[in-house]
Amino acid sequence: MHPHPLTTPQFLALLPHILPASPAGRQIGDLRTRLNAIFHMACTTDPWRALPETYGRPDTVSRYFRRLTHAGTWEKLLHAIKESPPKSPLREIAPLICRVCRRAIRLRGLRFIALARRLGFLSALNGPPAKLPNPDLSEKLKRLPLPAPPRTKQQTKAFIALIKTRRYLHRLAGGIKHIPRRLRLGWS
């Protein structure tokens, strides 16, 4: 995926959701360039230090990305995309926002994964959904009542099959510990 510079309507649609000032209250220079830089880096697998000079200093852009992430900006944007009309400028840049969310998951963790799943933005996940934790499935399994102990041989077989199924679902809900890099990068 190759990012394109934000158009004026797209930038204006993003503006209410982003932080226009630093924590100290200073206005941020060129917000549009910083957002373009964040979207550019989200579409690559490069580290921040590989950011082209046209976007500014890599440490400044990565710091701004972390501030946006810790402020919950990407979660707000996912909600805004879900509620926006089909022809909205936010919908046009939804793939870019989902790519940024993949980087943000490293900072936000399990709650962010759960939110992306609940809203139906599987492309915002940083790997195949079957390999990532599924907190909702885990909670549903936790609420299931335990079956009555078996009394007959036939009930024992059904009980064992049920236990095996629940064990499999628990493993599935937990995801895998380490997703190989080639699998993460190949996920689109």
CA distance 126 to 52: 24
The total of structural domains in the chain comes to: 2
The rounded Cα 24 to chain-centroid distance in angstroms is 28
CA distance 170 to 133: 10
Domain boundary, last residue among 126, 141, 173:
126
CA distance 17 to 105: 18
Query: According to the model, what pLDDT value does residue 65 have?
Result: 94
Q: Are residues 153 and 102 part of one domain?
A: no
Query: According to the model, what pLDDT value does residue 85 have?
Result: 93
Q: Is the pTM of this model over 0.95?
A: no
Domain boundary, last residue among 106, 126, 146:
126
Query: According to the model, what pLDDT value does residue 153 have?
Result: 85
Q: Are residues 74 and 22 part of one domain?
A: yes
Q: Are residues 139 and 106 part of one domain?
A: no
Q: Are residues 52 and 84 part of one domain?
A: yes
Q: Are residues 83 and 1 part of one domain?
A: yes
pLDDT less than 50: residues of the chain: none
Query: According to the model, what pLDDT value does residue 1 have?
Result: 66
The rounded Cα 38 to chain-centroid distance in angstroms is 15
Query: According to the model, what pLDDT value does residue 33 have?
Result: 93
Q: Are residues 122 and 41 part of one domain?
A: yes
Q: Are residues 8 and 58 part of one domain?
A: yes
Q: Are residues 107 and 48 part of one domain?
A: yes
Q: Are residues 117 and 44 part of one domain?
A: yes
DSSP line for the chain: ----PPPHHHHHHHGGGS--B-TTSPBPS-HHHHHHHHHHHHTS---GGG--GGG--HHHHHHHHHHHHHTTHHHHHHHHHHHS-TT-HHHHTHHHHHHHHHHHHHHHTHHHHHHHHHHT-GGGSSS-GGGS--HHHHHHHHHSPPPPPP-SHHHHHHHHHHHHHHHHHHHHHH--S---HHHHHH--
Q: Are residues 85 and 165 part of one domain?
A: no
Four-residue CA torsion sign, 13, 116, 62, 6: negative
Tell me which residue range forms the domain holding 149: 127-188
Contact 94, 81 (CB under 8 A): yes
